[in-house]
Amino acid sequence: MTETKKFTQEELNEIEELQVQNNRIIFELGQTEMQSFLVNEELKKLQETKSTLQAQFSNFQTKEKELVTKLNEKYGTGTVDINTGEFIPQNW
């Protein structure tokens, strides 16, 4: 039968310290992974918002061009004073 041996208190303290450090590192890795996940989810939301806004901007530009064409056909080339509603023809 083999004789059991005991670690010294110093050795036990070293083992315990390593376990504590290991647990801390594993916990912090988990926290980092969770933060990464949350950041990626937020990034996905931002990308969706960006895509929506880009589509809205494109639609806006199309409507703006249509309105300018319509007004140019009706009034000719010129500018509009938004405050007075007056059309100022462009003189060539």
Residue 88's H or E segment, with its range, is strand 86-89
pLDDT for res 68: 92
Asked if 68 and 80 touch (Cβ cutoff 8 Å), the reply is: no
The two tokens of residue 57 are 């901007």
List, as one string, the DSSP characters of 62-73. HHHHHHHHHHHH
- Dihedral of alpha carbons 51, 54, 56, 58, sign: negative
pLDDT for res 90: 86
Residue length of the chain: 92
Question: pLDDT tens for residues 20-42?
Answer: 999 999 999 999 999 999 999 99
Query: Which SS3 state, helix, strand or coil, does residue 78 take?
Result: strand
Question: pLDDT tens for residues 57-72?
Answer: 999 999 999 999 999 9
Q: Tell the residue number behind the tokens 């504590």, with chain if given.
A: 20
Question: pLDDT tens for residues 46-58?
Answer: 999 999 999 999 9
Give this prediction's pTM.
0.63
pLDDT for res 92: 61
Domain extent listing, the chain: 9-89
